[in-house]
Structure 1
Amino acid sequence: MDREWFRGQVVFLTGGTGNLGSCLLYKLAIQLPTAKIFVLVRGSVQRAIEAWEQSIPEQVEEIIATCKIQFFLGDMTQPNLGLSPENISRLQNETTVVMNAAGDIALSRDLAETIPVNCTSHLTLASLLDSFTQLQRFLHISTTYVSSFLPNGVVKEQIYPLYKDPAEELGKILITGKSSYTKQFAAPYALAKHLAENLLLGGNHKFPILILRPCLISPAIEEPYPLYGSDGAIPVHSFLQILLGDSEHWYLKLEQRLPSHAPCNEIPVDLVARTCLAHVAQGTTGVVHASADLYVSRTIGGFLERMRRYAPEGAAEQVKKAGLHHGDVTAPEFYSMIQQFARDWKIECTRSAHLKHVAGPLGLDLGNHDPEIFFKLRIERLAKSILPKLESATVANNKVYPNIS
């Protein structure tokens, strides 16, 4: 795959402080010969740099030192992305590639809250892009869960229509905050992303559109560094923490009730980034999946068995005593959702199969990488981040209930 395509390209990146966005930023700045990277940041430049100092502390200085990064203050949910007229003019006249990695997968957001972040903001961006005079490529990050209303079986790299008129459906949601389709999706954000896909591809825009749908994202194999990715940005880690300490719904009980043969669709974040960049270079349009078929396919049973195998001794008992709480989503809510949507899906990745034989920053050839050793290291790292919380919670619980052992 020819990295030279990126030579001289001017990239406008949204969501650049997020998990996938930071990985894309690293690759665009360090590994590829891009000319400039315009990064949309909300709040302040300092806030963006502080986010990178948390997520990529050893890489942020190197990225800034390339002198490729230029910050544009804005907000995806505002008209014209909240950009100043001067910055809009620069983007219109210089940008050749747009990578839209902005979004929010928070399960706690209801439909009315998630639509502005995961649907209408993307449409605002697309409308603005019609005025970009140099634009050659547009990459939009979606999710395989836009297809979570489908039954078991093959999920192809295409749009599956659900409503007669997507624009009419969006209009109803904007007025009422509700949709009759919400319960057919794994979460409201998936419905919002589904609507965005339909409206983007049906929008008669002047530029080619590539929609990249990752499945659940797991820690990086290599880029920006091995095991990159905070637990809050890795869905499976968040899900495990939601279930921690809940005697009725904790993960070992979940394991007993889930179909152990169902796929656990996860892919490392850097493989998603490589897939994105390879298809941008190729000029691919339409829908592309980035799922476990491009890495290692595991079942839910296989995943949980490995987790037990590599978890520190005594961790299960510590979990039961701790009673941790995670965000606004309760264990019963999550338990119900995962039981409903643990489907036997085969997420097709045929458009990227050739990349498994390509090495380098745009390829999925993993060389001597050992997925089993990597999984073990991942669980060990996860335990290091969770066990201190368990110890603190256990101490607190013992103070409140001193007679309970």
Structure 2
Amino acid sequence: MDGNWFKDHVVFLTGATGNLGGCLLYKLAIQLPTAKIFVLIRGSVQQAIESWEQSMPEHVDKIIATGKVQFLLGDMTQPNLGLTPSNLLRLQNEVTLVINSAGDISLSRGLAETLPINCTAHLTLVALADTFTRLTHFLHVSTTFVSSFLPDGTVKEKIYTLVEDPKEELATILATGQSSYTKEFAAPYALAKYLAERLLLEGDHSFPVLIVRPCFISPAIEEPYPFYGSDGAIPVHSFIQVLFEDSEYGLFKLEQVVPRHVACNEIPVDLVARTCLAHVAKGTKGVVHASSDLYVNRTVDELFNRIRLYAPKGIVEAIKKAGIDHGDVPAPELYSMINQFARDWRIECTRSTDLKSVKGPLGLLLCDHDPDAFFKQRIERLAKSILDKLGTLNLSNNKFYQT
């Protein structure tokens, strides 16, 4: 896969201060010959830079030094994305590729609150994109959980029809703040993303629309650096911490309820970024999955066994004793959601099979990577992060916690 495709392309990137968005920015600025990157930021330029200094401190200066990044102040939830007329004109006259990685995966937001962020903002963006005179590609990042209403089995790279008229359903939610479909989805944000997908693909656009659906995103293998990704942006880390701290709804109680053979779908954030950019370069249209099929497939049983093996001795007791709050959803609600929506899914990634034999910034070939060693380091790093918050660094001579 030739990264030279990006030469002379002008990109409009949203969500650049997020986990995936930051990885995409790094690749576009450092690894690929992108001509220019317009970055939509909320607040101020300084706030965006401070965010990157937290997430990738050794790479911020390199990214800025490329001279590719152009900051645009705005807000995805505002009319015209909150852009000034002059900045909007720049986008209309220059942008050839839109990458929309903005979104909010918070499980605590109700439908009325998540809809502006995870649906109508995307529709505002694509409406503006229709006025971009040089635009040739539009990439929208969604989630595999748009299909969480499906039963066990294979989830294909396509739109599944649940809502017959997405426009009518969106109007109903905007008017009432409610939907009869909410209980069909793992969380309100998944319903909002589902409606966005339907409306984006059913729109009449002069450019092709590509939708990439990641499953749970895990820490990076390589880009921008190994283990890149804040714990709050890594769902499995959040789940582990919330369940560790609750005496009644614990991780190891959950494993007694969730079917052991169910897949735990996770993929490193940099593999998601590579999948996104490779399919843009290939000119892919429609839906593409980025799931564990492109990395390593593990069952829930295998996940729990590894956590039990690698979690340092005493960490569960330390968390419970401190009573710190790690997540935005109480453990009972999280427990109920996982229990209800644990599916025996195989999330198909057929459209990316060829990338698994490709090296480089747009390939998924991992020559010397050891997934088990990587996972061990990941759990140990997560444990250290938790213990740092507790002010306790005693790992009991590196002995492991056993239940």
What TM-score do the two structures reach when normalised by structure 2? 0.96
Q: Which amino acid aligns with 1:45?
A: V
Q: Which amino acid aligns with 1:229?
A: G
Correspondence for 1:168 = 168
Following superposition of structure 1 onto structure 2, how do residues 165-204 of structure 1 map, counting pairs within 5 Å? 165-204=165-204
Correspondence for 1:24 = 24
Equivalents in 2 of 1:255, 1:58: separation in Å? 39
Equivalents in 1 of 2:347, 2:254: separation in Å? 23
Summarize deviations over 1:143-175 as a string: whole Å, max 9, x none.
Answer: 000000000000000000111210000000001
Correspondence for 2:47 = 47
Give the Å deviation of 1:326: 2.8
Equivalents in 1 of 2:351, 2:265: separation in Å? 17
Equivalents in 2 of 1:70, 1:114: separation in Å? 28
Equivalents in 2 of 1:325, 1:224: separation in Å? 29
Correspondence for 1:396 = none
Summarize deviations over 1:377-396 as a string: whole Å, max 9, x none.
Answer: 1011101111133457xxxx
Equivalents in 1 of 2:179, 2:253: separation in Å? 32
Equivalents in 2 of 1:314, 1:286: separation in Å? 48
Summarize deviations over 1:19-69 as a string: whole Å, max 9, x none.
Answer: 000000000000000000000000111110010000010000000000000
Question: Contact between 1:159 and 1:287, CA under 8 Å: does it hold in 2?
Answer: yes
Correspondence for 2:396 = none
Following superposition of structure 1 onto structure 2, how do residues 347-358 of structure 1 map, counting pairs within 5 Å? 347-358=347-358
Q: Which amino acid aligns with 1:8?
A: D
Correspondence for 1:87 = 87
Correspondence for 1:71 = 71
5+ residue gaps, structure 1, are 393-405
Name the SS of the counterpart of 1:70 in structure 2: strand
Q: Which amino acid aligns with 1:61?
A: D
Q: Which amino acid aligns with 1:74?
A: G
Name the SS of the counterpart of 1:368 in structure 2: coil
Name the SS of the counterpart of 1:47 in structure 2: helix
Name the SS of the counterpart of 1:99 in structure 2: strand
Equivalents in 1 of 2:354, 2:45: separation in Å? 39
Q: Which amino acid aligns with 1:381?
A: R
Summarize deviations over 1:102-159 as a string: whole Å, max 9, x none.
Answer: 0000001000000000000000000001110100110000000000000000000000
Equivalents in 2 of 1:245, 1:266: separation in Å? 22
Q: Which amino acid aligns with 2:97?
A: V
Question: Contact between 1:245 and 1:324, CA under 8 Å: does it hold in 2?
Answer: yes
Give the Å deviation of 1:316: 3.1
Correspondence for 1:153 = 153
Give the Å deviation of 1:244: 2.6
Question: Contact between 1:157 and 1:349, CA under 8 Å: does it hold in 2?
Answer: yes
Following superposition of structure 1 onto structure 2, how do residues 215-226 of structure 1 map, counting pairs within 5 Å? 215-226=215-226
Equivalents in 1 of 2:391, 2:5: separation in Å? 51
Summarize deviations over 1:71-106 as a string: whole Å, max 9, x none.
Answer: 000000000000000001100010000000000000
Correspondence for 2:232 = 232
Correspondence for 2:373 = 373
Correspondence for 1:299 = 299
Does 1:245 find its partner at 2:245? yes
Give the Å deviation of 1:322: 3.1
Equivalents in 2 of 1:75, 1:186: separation in Å? 27
Name the SS of the counterpart of 2:245 in structure 1: coil
Question: Contact between 1:293 and 1:349, CA under 8 Å: does it hold in 2?
Answer: yes
Correspondence for 2:395 = none
Correspondence for 2:401 = none
Question: Contact between 1:241 and 1:324, CA under 8 Å: does it hold in 2?
Answer: no
Question: Contact between 1:275 and 1:362, CA under 8 Å: does it hold in 2?
Answer: yes
Question: Contact between 2:106 and 2:328, CA under 8 Å: does it hold in 1?
Answer: no
Name the SS of the counterpart of 1:217 in structure 2: strand
Question: Contact between 2:238 and 2:327, CA under 8 Å: does it hold in 1?
Answer: no
Give the Å deviation of 1:320: 3.7
Name the SS of the counterpart of 1:380 in structure 2: helix
Q: Which amino acid aligns with 2:129?
A: L
Cα RMSD of the aligned pairs, angstroms, is 1.0
Name the SS of the counterpart of 2:255 in structure 1: helix
Equivalents in 2 of 1:22, 1:326: separation in Å? 23
Identify which range, 29-38 or 236-245, moves more after superposition.
236-245
Equivalents in 2 of 1:225, 1:173: separation in Å? 41
Name the SS of the counterpart of 1:223 in structure 2: coil
Question: Contact between 2:262 and 2:344, CA under 8 Å: does it hold in 1?
Answer: yes
Question: Contact between 1:318 and 1:391, CA under 8 Å: does it hold in 2?
Answer: no
Correspondence for 1:321 = 321
Give the Å deviation of 1:319: 3.5
Q: Which amino acid aligns with 2:170?
A: L
Summarize deviations over 1:344-367 as a string: whole Å, max 9, x none.
Answer: 001000000100000000000001
Identity of aligned residues (%): 72
Q: Which amino acid aligns with 1:15?
A: G
Correspondence for 2:130 = 130
Identify which range, 321-330 or 69-78, moves more after superposition.
321-330
Give the Å deviation of 1:245: 2.0
Correspondence for 1:401 = none
Name the SS of the counterpart of 2:108 in structure 1: coil
What TM-score do the two structures reach when normalised by structure 1? 0.95
Give the Å deviation of 1:327: 4.0
Give the Å deviation of 1:250: 1.4
Correspondence for 1:207 = 207
